[in-house]
Chains A and B, each alone.
Chain A
């Protein structure tokens, strides 16, 4: 589905979202040591859309992806997928939904079984979900290998016989062989060399068109997320800071954290050697994630626009316009300042 079609479908409102997450919270630990990795996150995802999830390590983006797929069970909130609340489904019912939703991990060397041939790995989902067996399964596997740019000969080989980029293709084939609708891609290019990253990004785009896939694409790389996603969701300490269409990212992003992330992206072709700055100016320390959550906006300690209320009241996620929402008390003033 093209970007225009997605937007049209979203605007006309006649298509229900494929995925609707409402107030999802994931907590680890218990009692006073409870740690909230994902804190009341809500978003909708249209069929054929790619939602990019970006944030720094520890912001909860991986936990979010796993909780959507119920690989971790959320502590609160709804995950509506194909009309069912996944958070309320039990073992057998959930297993019945599994082939509609799959995950691609960062490191294929740890997500694929080294003792299984690629053929074994790809046939397993077909067998588990009762989709195909025998010669039919082999034919489906061969087609999927061809779709990810490998040959049928790959079926008899083991993971160690592949390069990192090829192995990520195998992992993608494994995720797609049961023809899921929703695929969570967790940093799928982060462990790859730069020259190979682009191949995998291109492949994911092709496969989305070909199989009508819906992606949640999790990454710390803003340029790749912007390139691939229709919308970008920026997370900070488990909360959504901002969510907006990718094409508006550079121009219209309002949250001070999003702007900081944008300013940290350097384009090699235009970057020049940095001028030395006084060490004190670079000493801003990223705060450690507190176990006991403070009041107010979590970004406040690092924010150059913070006011007293930012430290006392949590900013709600407010819709600015259309599909752009931001969680910042001062977004109206910042938008006016940017316009001036």
Chain B
């Protein structure tokens, strides 16, 4: 019991059995009973391909889903129940204790306000800072995210900045009110590779400095690998594998995770060989359909996979996988090798 209390105190975000559907003619389930938690200062990497529901999850936590979305389950954010919170309390939370950054800073920043003004606006809303004190804090924040000549840059408009600088400005805005949780939705996807590395470094250093937790959402395994303590892999609205980052990436337990990692060429690997592509594509069905949604693309599928949805089962060493075959000693990579011989 005592351990449970400890855990709850240290928990920044706890999502329990969250289901999200979008109503249009009929209800389409895009998240099916997703559970995850993030501790203080921890980074959870949420990986998956387009349409798997990872952004929907990030937005659900902030209650930023469109009006036709239905939500069921529980989201506990810093001890508060998000789904029953009134809109005023929710607005206090957004941009305050919980902040979000997006893939495209140009669509998240206001094009007709200077970046300095956009930061002071957040400070005025969530902290007592006004006037010169707010401006000074904005300049300090721009310096913190690695923008040179921050006092001058505070007077510039988003279009005057490069893509990487815009992303830094958005991060400055996000951290302006000392968030306990930062939701980063594909923050490096639109950037060049050398700039990506800079932004990932920046996020890592800010996280330590501010001891903030992070939900890092991306389709890019290598970006996730460089920031996450734990990783959750999503496929068609469900988490299919979860565990500490390094073991999961080195030794994936779910055939989908394994397939994703195998399908990218390595910069020091063999050239002009066949890549191990995952056959087919994600089916458009509802996330709560019976059976394993990865089954049509899976090389290991058995009869049971078509009729029963596997649970996200403990496979030891703090890891979990949603696969009937996964166990402490079954791994798709080894199974594929023994099938080949």
Tell me the minimal C-beta distance from A59 to chain B in angstroms: 9
Chain B CB within 8 A of A75 CB = no
B168, chain A: closest CB distance, angstroms? 9
B64 within 8 A of A: no
* Interface of chain B residues 239 through 286 with chain A (CB within 8 A): 245-246, 249-250, 259-261, 263-269, 271-272, 274-279, 281-282
Chain B residue at minimum C-beta to C-beta distance from A56: B192
On whether the beta carbons of B196 and A264 are closer than 8 Å, the reply is yes
CA distance A226 to B272 in the complex (A): 9
Asked whether A279 and B144 contact (CB < 8 A) given A273-B227, A274-B204, the answer is: yes
Q: Is A195 touching B49 in the complex (CB atoms < 8 A)?
A: yes
- Do residues A283 and B263 form an inter-chain contact, with CB atoms below 8 A? no
Structural contact, A266 and B226, CB atoms closer than 8 A: yes
Asked if B194 and A56 make an inter-chain contact with CB atoms under 8 angstroms apart, the answer reads yes
Chain A residues within 8 Å of B263, by CB: 194-195, 197-198
Contact residues, A242-301 vs B (CB, 8 A):
246-247, 249-250, 260-262, 264-269, 271-286, 288
Residues of A within 8 A of B277 (CB): 195-199, 201-202
Q: Return the contact of A193 from the options B162, B193, B219, B269 (Cβ within 8 A).
A: B219
Instruction: Name which of A226, A249, A262 has the most chain B CB atoms within 10 A of its CB.
Output: A226
Those of A281-323 within 8 Å (CB) of chain B: 281-286, 288
Chain A residues with Cβ below 8 Å from B193 are 56, 220, 222, 261, 264-265
Q: Are A266 and B192 in contact (CB under 8 A)?
A: no
> What is the interface size of chain A, counting residues whose CB is below 8 A from a CB of the partner?
54
Instruction: Name the interface residues of A199-251: CB closer than 8 Å to any CB of B.
Output: 199, 201-202, 205, 220, 222-224, 226-228, 246-247, 249-250
CB distance from A118 to the nearest CB of B (A): 17
How far is B267's CA from A250's CA once the two chains are assembled, in angstroms?
Answer: 7
Contact status B219-A194, CB under 8 Å: yes
Which residues of chain A are within 8 angstroms of B281 by Cβ–Cβ distance? Answer: 163-166, 193, 195-196
Residue contact A223 to B266, C-beta cutoff 8 Å: yes
Q: Is the CB of B147 within 8 A of A283?
A: yes
A226 with B271, Cβ < 8 A, contacts A194-B264, A284-B198, A286-B194 known: yes
Compute how far the CA of A197 lies from the CA of B43 in the bound complex, rounded to whole angstroms: 28
Q: Are A277 and B204 in contact (CB under 8 A)?
A: yes
Q: How far is it, in angstroms, between the C-alpha of A271 and the C-alpha of B196 when the chains are bound?
A: 15
Residues on A with beta carbons closer than 8 Å to the beta carbon of B282: 163, 193
B118 within 8 A of A: no
CB neighbours of A282 from chain B (8 A): 146, 198, 201-202, 205
Q: Give A272 to B246 CA distance when docked, in angstroms.
A: 7
Least CB distance, B203 to chain A, in whole angstroms: 9
Pull 9 A–B residue pairs with CB atoms less than 8 Å apart, ordered by A.
A194-B221, A195-B49, A195-B263, A201-B275, A223-B267, A224-B264, A272-B226, A285-B165, A286-B195
